[in-house]
Structures are given as structure tokens and as C-alpha cells.
Amino acid sequence: MKLLELKKELLSACIIEIDERADSLRKVMDDAQQSANDYGQPKDRYDSYRTQLLRKRDLFGKQLYKILEQRNILEKINTERVSDTVKFGAIVITNKQKMFVSVGIGKMEYGGSDYFVISPGVPFFMAMEGKKAGDSFEFRGQKFEILEVS
């Protein structure tokens, strides 16, 4: 599979993953709100159950906001452009692992291979930023050789 096709498909898989996480958070938020509504007003001044439910809802709301920010970042990736250096939006294949530099989703299995979907803010990316195919870099005592970049 060509790397540009792979980039499009990986990006699509990442968006699906983000959308599933967002849907999950929306459901949990709705459940917390419904539980708070069903509980009604506090029974006395020491009754904090409803407040805890609303705080829980707000916490999930903050997580949802971050997830939606990640989705917006993913939408900015140009899947038509080939990159010859390691930067945001690039697929990087090293002698030890395969990565997609976009947002911090973590390990994803796609097409029978594991890909690490990483953010440009992580130290591992910073160690290889700007490198090209054929270059090598060291991270935490391990040497990595970049085989392909797209």
C-alpha cells in the first residue's frame, strides 16, 4: 500500500476513534445529568450527591472538549501532500515501529500492523523531528533508523 493511501486510511481510522470516544463521553455526560435530575434537589444542606453528579458531568464535558479539539487538529492534516521530513501529519516508519504524527491517541492496529498515533508535543517526536528517511536518532538509549517518511 502506498504511504499516501495509508495516511488517508489511518487518518480516517483516527477520526472514527475520536468520534467513538466523543460519543461515549456524551452518553456518560447525559447519564450523569439525568441522574442529577432524577435525584432532585438536595435533601439537606449536607447532601452533596447531586453536586457530585454535576461535577462528574462537568469533568466529562472538559474531556469531550479536548477530544473535539483533537478532531479539529486531525481535520487540518493534508493527506495529499508527501512529506520528506518528520513533521506534523507524517507517517514515520522506523526499524522498530510505525508512527503517525497527529494527536495523542496511542497504539492503533490497522491493516495487520501496529501504529503509534503520537502528538508533536511528545519527547519521542522531538527526537526525530526534521529527520529524513535514512537518518537515525537516539531516544532513551535506543537507536532508531528512519526507513520511510510520508
Res 45 pLDDT > 80: no
Q: How confident is the model at residue 44 (pLDDT cuts 50, 70, 90)?
A: confident
pLDDT tens profile 71-97: 999 999 999 988 899 999 999 999 999
Q: How confident is the model at residue 46 (pLDDT cuts 50, 70, 90)?
A: low
Residues 112-125: what's their mean pLDDT? Answer: 96
- Amino acid 49: pLDDT: 83
Residues 30-36: what's their mean pLDDT? Answer: 90
Is 122 in a helix, a strand, or coil?
coil
Q: How confident is the model at residue 15 (pLDDT cuts 50, 70, 90)?
A: very high
HSE-CB at 95 with a 13 A cutoff on CA atoms is: 9
Res 132 pLDDT > 70: yes
Q: Are 14 and 100 in contact (CB under 8 A)?
A: yes
Can you tell me the distance from the alpha carbon of 125 to that of 99, in angstroms, rounded to the nearest whole number? Answer: 9
- Amino acid 115: pLDDT: 96
